[in-house]
Structure 1
């Protein structure tokens, strides 16, 4: 087995979380290299594009969060082998990445500028993407996004929905998912109750 080191911020969420969860679910040994936000200025100097997460595989640095998520998903048996189901999985990964980028564009704003940008984000793009994700979930059986089982697509949506309800995003109502796409909240709770995931967060909290 390759030596794996995943480098990402020291919080539970964001682009690194699906890979962390996949590795945990797969029982795959890896170094969970976390750093505090003030350290990012130094950490980013060692990355190709000044961003994280990165994954070192036997010392070779890999960038791009969805590529990392797919790779560890394959290692953990959480990525479809059927090409069409893999396409459905990738579609969801890409959609969540798109809306993550749109939210990220509001970071760094303050005061009324932040409030206006976040309000527009919630009313516009976020609502569109959440409703689409809910429709995809319904179209594929209502439990999972692809392959009739838990995949990294579910882990990515889980992390994003969990973050929206965390209260850590100013001017994003914590009940926005419940109001716009309640099936995604039910999905988040179901994924979070997966024993290995519940135990993972319990360990971190302890």
Structure 2
């Protein structure tokens, strides 16, 4: 409810089960908020991007007003879903994890569009460098939170972002990224991903959304 009136939400992102929009979709589901899940193809994005504030997705429209930045959206939806800490320090911990995963995503996205040997070398460098650095660092943040959750001793958007991204890294969907990279470098994150995936709220989302 915005100002006592039910708002209309439209989330635009690629037609994939993953990426920056997946935690937002899960958050809306847990919050029990109806939204338009506008999934677009890559050719459609090429046509639409000039109409978006930063030529990028995801874009969340609230009553027709465009909002960008996936972490800002995560906090907004997280508050509505009870997935964002009220305590300032715990909220800081949650934000730190969201930002770290966003940094890691930027490093991965830089390799998109490369081909052949150039892609292979870039991905190998990424695995040995920033990816390993971030995975190890994120495991330390999980341990700081107690080992089960990153913040607040309960499920937050930080856990959901981690679940989505670690699942992707372990899926084999990225060429030249070993499927066991997370298990080798930060096994605690694999255990966390499995535990979060078994949470009834997360399992419930995938039971209805595939």
Q: TM-score with structure 1 length normalisation?
A: 0.96
Report the number of matched residues. Answer: 205
- Give the distance between the partners of 1:71 and 1:47, measured in 2 at CA: 20
Gaps of 5+ in 2: 2-6
Paired with 1:142 and 1:54, the residues of 2 have a C-alpha distance of 32
Which of 166, 173, 180 aligns to 1:161? It is 166
Q: CA deviation at 1:196?
A: 2.5
Report whether the alignment pairs 1:180 with 2:179. Answer: no
Tell me the C-alpha RMSD between the 2 structures: 1.0
Counterpart residue number, 1:25 = 30
Deviation of residue 141 (structure 1)?
Answer: 0.7
CA deviations over 1:72-128 (Å, ceiling 9, x no partner): 111111111111111111111110000100111111111111000000000110001
* Local SS of the residue matching 1:150: coil
**1:56: which partner in 2?**
61
The equivalences for 1:1-206 within 5 A come to: 1=1, 2-205=7-210
Residue of structure 1 equivalent to 2:4: none
- Alignment partners' CA distance in 2, 1:43 and 1:201: 28
Q: CA deviation at 1:45?
A: 2.2
Give CA-to-partner distance per residue, 1:32-58, whole Å, 9 cap, x none: 111122211012122011100011111
Cα deviation, residue 3, structure 1: 1.2
In the TM superposition, structure 1's runs of 4+ consecutive aligned residues that sit over 6 Å from their partners are none
SS in structure 2 of the partner of residue 115 of structure 1: helix
2: CA distance, partners of 1:148 / 1:85: 9
SS of structure 1 residue aligned to 2:174? coil
Q: CA deviation at 1:165?
A: 1.2
* DSSP-derived class of the 2:39 partner: strand
